[in-house]
Structure 1
């Protein structure tokens, strides 16, 4: 563009010099001819044509000059625009570099996050597996618990249905009983416990309410000189006899016995004082009779 402008300026200068020389020469010739000879009409026409041509060239040169000026202005505008664009391009390059740096950092962060995500997924899988195992164990425990609860309910029902039998009695507060001329059923009148009401203090009888195994216990105390003794009867059958001699030396004698008997519902157990024997009891409860149901049959 600068070369074109230079050439146009050079051409303008050359044309201007030639036009001035030609104009001067023609003027001198015209002045001489004007003063010497009369002009031929053809020559006058030629001169007019030449002058017209010279004017046209100057007009074109002026137009070219104006174009060059416009081109210079346009070139300056382009240079300014290029400068602005260069500045913008530099700014864009800087921004692009920053963006690329941020992109690189983000890619690194994404790589780290991807690694952490893989680790978290692995831990999650492990946790899910453990959770599944715990759920299975919990289900097993729930099943076992349900079975245990069902068994407990069954035992509670059986226990509720099972008769409860237990009694504990003392003989008397009167002191010494006997000796008598005949065998005498002992009536333990001091009732401390009588669950199930299987013992009757009016008769001295313990009646088994259900078939089962029973544990019975008795304690006999002798105070007066002679013998203290007791019979144990099941229904009308004597199944135990115990005897202890009491000397007149101030030393009292007693014995304790325990029995485990299989009884049918309605069987009766009673204690009998043999004739000629004595037994002692008072508020100290030295002579007692007790029993309980171990289990049903």
Structure 2
């Protein structure tokens, strides 16, 4: 503002000089001395203005420098604001993280306290373990001494074991020979036992004999059809070849068999019976009684039977027999020899 005022003053002075010159031209009343005085005054004013302009230029240069510095500072401030914003955001994150860290720190401190208590217990246990270790080391030393003694005994035992192993090998060889002989003996023994079993079975089959009585009921018959007699009173039945439920004898093995029967009649009429081999009639014995009273008849037969052949006695239709507890009617048989 000061520089602007000086410029306005200079222009005013110049205008004033121009008007003076016009007045001098017009009126020619102004003297040369006055002109020179005014020029001198103007020169001084110009010099002062030049000095003032220099001063203004220096101030302007300083102002430009300060402006550049201010602009640089403004840019720096803007950068700082940006960084401040980022810093504030980061600070917020850090505050959040700090809160989390404080929580974790509290948990860690609690865990540290727990670990310290555990360490105290472990320290006590460690002391106990050290005591036990000392005892163990002492015992280990004793065991090492004992092991040295046992090592010497072991050497002696190894020597004895070597001798025993050698003897065992010899015994194994001998046992192998004996095992082979034993296998042979076992084979022979098995064959012998099988043969013995067969012979026992055969001998059991060869022991066949039976003796039976007919009934205690008195009169038997007459019937209107031929009827198989079932001798229900079994006195002997070696080999179980006779079946009292059916009245049939079944040959267990092939052989020659001997059969005998006795019959008794007690009233008038026909008395007798028939002998059947399977479904073949091989004998018929019978007679007619003229009087009432006991009358007997006995007969026998020798038959060659195959295993499974059956023998049974049949009362013909119209015939009668008499029996009681005295066993007047009997049926017996036995194996004479096998074929």
Query: Normalising by structure 1, what TM-score?
Result: 0.46
Bigger relative CO (Cα 8 Å, ≥ 6 apart): 1
Q: Comparing both structures, which one devotes a greater share of its residues to helix?
A: 2
Which structure has the larger Rg? 2
